[in-house]
Structure 1
Amino acid sequence: MSQNQVTAPAISTVAARLLKFSPSAWLKSWLLYLGIQTHVGTTTQPEMKPLHNICEYLHALHIYTDEARRGEVRTVSAHHFCSHVRKDLRQCLIYDSCKPDARLIGVEFMIPKEKYEQLDPEEQKYWHSHEFEVKSGMLVLPYPESHRHRKDAWDELETKAMEEVVGLYGKLYHFWEVDKGHDLPLGPPKLMGSLTGWEQLNVDKAMAPRNQEQGIDQAKKRELREHIPLPGIPPNADNWWKDAQLNRRGLYAA
C-alpha cells in the first residue's frame, strides 16, 4: 500500500484521538471518514500531521466587512477545510475551490458562544455569527461521492453538524482578493464576515450555480433545519452590519 493510501483502521485511530473533544462522536467519525476519503485526500506522512486533523469540508459565501460597514454587499465563494483543535476551537483553511489547483485565500477560527462572550468587548467586534448561514441553507457540507445517490443520509448528518455550527462565532481573514482577479495575494489581509439577513442578498439566486452543479436543494436544507433553535446573537457580533444599520448607510438608507 502506498503512503497516500489510508486504511479504515488508520482513520479510526485518527478519529479516536480527535473525537474525544466532540459531544457527537458518531457524527464526527462519519464526517471525518467520509470527508477525508472523498474531499480532503489526506496524506499519511508524519511531517504532515497538522493536515491529518482536517475532518470537515464546508461551503458558503463570505462578505467583505469594509463594504458591509457602508451597507454594501460584496461576496466571495469560500471552501472551508476545518480541523477541530479542541472542543471550543475549530480552525479552517479557506480556498477558492475544492480543485487540485485551489488557491489558499484565508483562514477562519470558530468558537462557541460561551467562549465568545468571554472575550473583551472590543475583540468581540471582529467576530461574526453563523445563524443566517445555517438557517438559510447557504452553508453546506457538500455531498461526497459516496453519498451522491444517498443524499438523505448525508442531509441527516449535515443537519446534526449544523446544530453545533449555528452557535459558533468566527474570526476570519482573507489574504487574496480572487474576486478582483488578482494573480497574487496583494495588500493587507481583509477582515471578512457573513451574511445575516435576506435583505442583504438573494441567497437562493446567488447560490443557484453551486446548487445546480452539486445537486443541492437549498429549500429542503431550510426545512430540515427549521427545528434548530437560534441561540441569539450578542450585540458586538456582526458589528459592520449593525454599524451600517445604525447610520442608515447603503441598503439600510431607506
Structure 2
Amino acid sequence: MASSDKVPGACPARNGDKKIPPGDPMAATTVMLDKGTAMMQSLKPIKQMSQHLCSFALHSHDPSRQIEAHFYVQRVNQDFLQSAVYDSNSSSAHLIGVEYMVSEKLFNTLPPEEQKLWHSHQYELSFAGSDRSPSHSKGSGACRHARTPKHCQNLRQVLVHVADRPRVNISGDRLPLGPPALMMSPQDVNMGRIKPELVKKRDDAYGISTESILTTRGSITGPEVKNPNADYWVEHGKGFAIDIVETDMKKTAP
C-alpha cells in the first residue's frame, strides 16, 4: 500500500461538508483587504496563464482512481509549459496539483529513469477526446469547444509530468490530507480508459459531446515513434507511488 492510499486519522478536516474546507466565513474586513491588494498587486505569474484544458487524470499506482482535472496553462517557451491543476473551473475550485509539459525534443534529453515519470497526451487528444478547452456561459448554458486541431497537434507532441494532492476530490476530505500522488493520463489499455460516468458528468456540465469532438480530430498525428519510456506503465504494468519515510535530518551544510 502506498502512503497516498492510507486514510488519515479522524480530524475535523475529514468530517462535514465534503466540498467546503473547515474555517470561519470571510469577514467583511478580510474581503475589503483582499480586494484592495488585488488592485495594487500585479499578480504577473497568474496573468501569464492563457489556456484552460479540461481532462482526466489517473493515479500512477492505481488507475482505477480517476478524477476530472482542469489545467490552467502558461506557455514559458515553445518547448516548455506549466500549469496549475484544479478539480473544477468554478470560483470555489480546489487547487490539487501542478503539471509540467515539455516537447518531445526536451523529453528525449531526460535520463531514462526520469522519463518513466512522464506521460503523453497522444491518446487523450486523438482518441479519448479528453483534452479540451471549455468556454462556459452559466447564464445561457452555452459551451463551445475552443481547441482547434492545430492546438491539439502541438499538444500531442508534448510529454507531461504532474504531481497532485487529489485526496479532496477522491476521498471527499475537506483539506488535502496525506502525501501527493503521481498522476498519469488516460490510455486505451486495461484500466487506462476513463469511466463513462465521469465523461458523461463532464460533458453534461459543459453541454458538449465527446463523440462529436472526436470527429474533428482525425487529422491530428503524433510522433512516428514514441519513446518507450513515455507512458511506462502501459508497456510494463508498473506504476509509481510516493511514500513518506521518516529519516534523520542533515545537521551540517554540504
TM-score, length-scaled by structure 2: 0.70
Residue 227 (structure 1) aligns with: 219
Residue 209 (structure 2) aligns with: 217
- Name the SS for the 1:169 alignment partner: strand
Once the two structures are superposed, the pairs formed by residues 1-254 of structure 1 within 5 Å of their partners are: 45-68=40-63, 73-135=64-126, 136-145=128-137, 151=144, 154-155=145-146, 157-178=147-168, 179-197=170-188, 199-200=190-191, 201=193, 204-231=196-223, 232-244=225-237
Q: How many residues align?
A: 197
Identity of aligned residues (%): 28
Deviations along 1:51-77, one digit per CA (max 9) or x if unpaired, are: 110100011110000114xxxx22011
The answer for unaligned runs of 5 or more in structure 1 is: 1-42, 246-254
Q: CA deviation at 1:89?
A: 0.9
Contact preservation (8 Å) 2:142, 2:206? no
Contact preservation (8 Å) 2:123, 2:188? yes
After the TM superposition, which of the residue ranges 227-236 and 139-148 deviates more from structure 2?
A: 139-148
Contact preservation (8 Å) 1:127, 1:171? yes
Deviations along 1:131-171, one digit per CA (max 9) or x if unpaired, are: 111012111111243997684xx55x433211111111110
Q: CA deviation at 1:205?
A: 4.4
Q: Which has the larger radius of gyration?
A: 2
Contact preservation (8 Å) 1:54, 1:83? yes
C-alpha change, 1:227 and 1:173, in structure 2 (3 Å) is same
CA distance in 1, matches of 2:194, 2:232: 21
The answer for unaligned runs of 5 or more in structure 2 is: 1-37, 239-254
> What is the CA RMSD across the aligned residues, in angstroms?
2.5
Residue 5 (structure 1) aligns with: none
Residue 34 (structure 2) aligns with: none
Contact preservation (8 Å) 2:143, 2:208? no
Deviations along 1:102-144, one digit per CA (max 9) or x if unpaired, are: 1110000001111101111111011001011101211111124
- Name the SS for the 1:182 alignment partner: coil
- Name the SS for the 1:196 alignment partner: coil
Q: CA deviation at 1:48?
A: 0.7
User: Which protein, 1 or 2, shows the higher relative CO under an 8 Å CA cutoff with sep ≥ 6?
Assistant: 2
Residue 249 (structure 2) aligns with: none
- More helix, by proportion: 1
